[in-house]
Amino acid sequence: MQRDLVIAVIVTHRQAAVATCARARQDERVHTSACVRPTPAVSNPLQEIVALFGYPVAGNPTQYLMEKAFARAGLDWRYLTLEVAPELLADAMRGARAMGFRGGNLTMPHKVTVLPLLDELTDSARLIGAVNCWKRDGDRLIGDNTDGRGFVQSLRTLIDPAGKRFVVLGAGGAARAIAVELALAKATNIIIVNRADGAGQRSQQVPDRGPELADLLVDKLNIPARFVLWQGDFQLPAETDVLINATSIGFGDRQARVPLALDTLRPNMVVADVIINPPRTRLLREAAAQECRTLDGIGMLVNQAAIAFRIWTGRDADTTVLREAVEEYLNL
């Protein structure tokens, strides 16, 4: 019955996709080549399925990106966006295993709670303590985390992280993944800046995320790191090479202000923001006015998608198609 239900969802989803592409062709907003699904080189009576589990997931652009990447590669694969309540995650993962899903993505609030439901973790996922991507390998489900790698690949278009000094604003999932990957990329020093969690009192049961992340970087990755409590406008140390906003400040709000002393920004410093909508956040606009080099969150999203594509298919995605898909989705 479960398999029949999923097939029904897939059929409905494909019909909706065809209708969407037909409408898109009429107003020329979407390239025809991205809507036409090429015939696979080898006929397969069953489509391969990957899926996003999250709660809520409305508005997530990943399906839009992945469907276009599959089409460009000539793969008869489908990507489903499925809303899974927290208490039903274990059932959803058992269903994905039973129905032969090739892999999937996980978004909030499932990135940590999924860990015991997987058979194996990659080294980076184990260090980060969260999973946003998994794949099937035989009968085993292997969890990975592409957040940090996607960011570091995007950063390398402007600067090599090796030997650089970083300030990371925030200590949540994105900040943790980025900080770990920067350490693995041989950053020289990382400062974690975050507001206090709750009452701001550390305990063995529930440590504040900021100090805990700094401790992880020092103890597990042997990199000089420290935590700074975020109070008022943060003053960047003069030796900072790269500033990263890994908070949600600015999401959906072009005027949202990151509490930062703008006079501590230096020309040619790299200022990055993980926010994708809007891509030119107030922080990036203010940094550009100070002659900083800026990096928006779209590159990170595109790279994450490309890494996941390779994890599942063993092939490289067309990143131009992925970038165009993001821009179309955000109406840029």
Active site residues: 111
Kindly give, in sequence order, each residue whose CB lies less than 8 Å from that of residue 251, ignoring residues fewer than 6 positions away.
Answer: 275, 277
Quickly tell me which residue has 């085993």 as its tokens: 140
Q: Check: CB of residue 168 under 8 Å from CB of residue 179.
A: yes
Residue with structure tokens 């998608």? 305
Phi-psi region of 222 (alpha: psi -120 to 50; beta: other; left: phi over 0): left
- Bridge pairing between strands 189-194 and 133-137: unpaired
The Cα 186–Cα 166 span in angstroms is 11
Q: List phi, psi (to 5°) of 331.
A: 55, 45
Residue with tokens 């990106």: 65
Residues in the chain, overall count: 332
